[in-house]
Structure 1
Amino acid sequence: MKVVAGFAFLLLAAGSAWGDTYTIDPNHTLPVFEVGHLGFSTQRGRFEQTAGTIHLDWEKRTGSVTWTIQADSIDMGQAKWNEHLKSPDFFNVASFPTITYRAERLQFQGDTPVSAEGELTLLGVARPVKVSILRFTCGTHPINHKELCAADIEATLKRSEFGMSKYLPGVSDAVRVLVPVEAYKD
């Protein structure tokens, strides 16, 4: 019995030495994107369904991110426009239902993560994407009293690098991505 208890203690101690895991709150993690339209305006859309985990090793100042977006949850504010963006012209959600981001490398400035280098998979194409981590903060949620970390994530990418080239250059190649992220400690 002592051996089992000792082994269980070692597993728990090792788990805490490896850092903390946070689960992304899908109600407060809604990716927004901005793209230029015909040189006249900036159009914005967002995705309504996300899931993922963030691992932070505070001692080693390292971490990782695994994040999935349901492509068919795109919302441009108009049903007809949503359907066009779900088509093979853009996100081709029938063939590519998810967009994923995986980062095994987080950069810290002191105790604060400031960027992540990872791989974005969109339309079946995986490419390196570095994201900036802004306004990172952790604390106790004032309403539900759970521990959470939050930040604003920003990146710019070229949609053509993922094979999304329809209507270039009228619909700009550069896409700015803005993501408010909230994640609760497991």
Structure 2
Amino acid sequence: MHKFAKLFAAIAVSTAAAAPALAAPETYTVDGTHTFPRFSYSHFGMSTQLSRFDKTTGSVVLDKAAKTGSVDIVIDMTSVDTGFSDFNGHIQGEDFLDTAKYPTATFKSTKVNFKGDKPESIDGNLTIKGVTKPVTLKVTNYVNMPHPMLKKDAIGADATVVIKRTEFNAGKFAPHVGDDVTITVSLEAIKG
């Protein structure tokens, strides 16, 4: 009986050692100094206007082994930067962003879709001016590596989606000022 117990223990130990290690989800904090949501739209068909938001917070949770994740982003809409201070105030008005009532916009993922080891798209809910719509961001660039300066695991990504601003009650001057708005998020996040 004693030999059987030793054999069983040896088998149990070797099986445990041979089993693949299970990775746990890891949380990354958005680096607000290197994360900028930008938006572009047609201005009377004459040019493409490009603006950005300067203050973004949030987190990314990634389980590399399970190929799952989540993204939770908050954009400070009062930090809009059009390149012209008077226009920053104009675009924050009631007909556009209405930052007095809705100072933030959010994106909360519902699913991160992987192709191989990298996310290729992120499904989620985008809320602007209190209106929530499902969107899918296409990931155009993704890197997961040690940050060269901070020496911590980091994520870098670019993702894009096109929305209709009229669907978010921000449609003044449409269609002359384009209804289609391309949102591009350049994100860096550091493992905390």
Tell me the TM-score normalised to structure 2 length: 0.86
Question: Which residue in the other structure is 1:66 paired with?
Answer: 72
Tell me, in whole angstroms, the C-alpha distance in 2 between the residues paired with 1:153 and 1:18.
Answer: 25
Tell me if 1:180 matches 2:186: yes
Aligned to 2:5: none
Q: How far apart, in 2, do the equivalents of 1:143 and 1:35 lie?
A: 35
State whether structure 2 residue 40 is matched by structure 1 residue 34. yes
Name the structure 1 match of 2:110. Answer: 104
TM-score with structure 1 length normalisation?
Answer: 0.89
2:110 and 2:125 in contact (8 A); partners too: no
Paired-residue identity, %: 39
User: Which of residues 110, 127, 137 in structure 2 aligns to 1:131?
Assistant: 137
Question: 1:104, CA displacement in angstroms?
Answer: 2.4
SS at match of 1:31: strand
Q: Which amino acid aligns with 1:149?
A: I
Deviates more, 1:175-184 or 1:17-26: 17-26
Equivalent residue runs for 1:9-48 within 5 Å: 17-48=23-54
Q: CA deviation at 1:17?
A: 4.4
Alpha-carbon displacement from aligned partner over 1:141-178 (angstroms, at most 9, x marks no partner): 11221210111111111111111111111110000111
1:83 partnered with 2:95: no
| Distance of 1:142 and 1:66 partners within structure 2 | 25
Task: Identify unmatched segments of 5+ residues in structure 1.
Answer: 1-15
Residues matched between the structures, number = 171
* Runs ≥4 residues deviating over 4 A: none
> Counterpart of 2:185 in structure 1: which amino acid?
V
- The match for 2:156 is 150
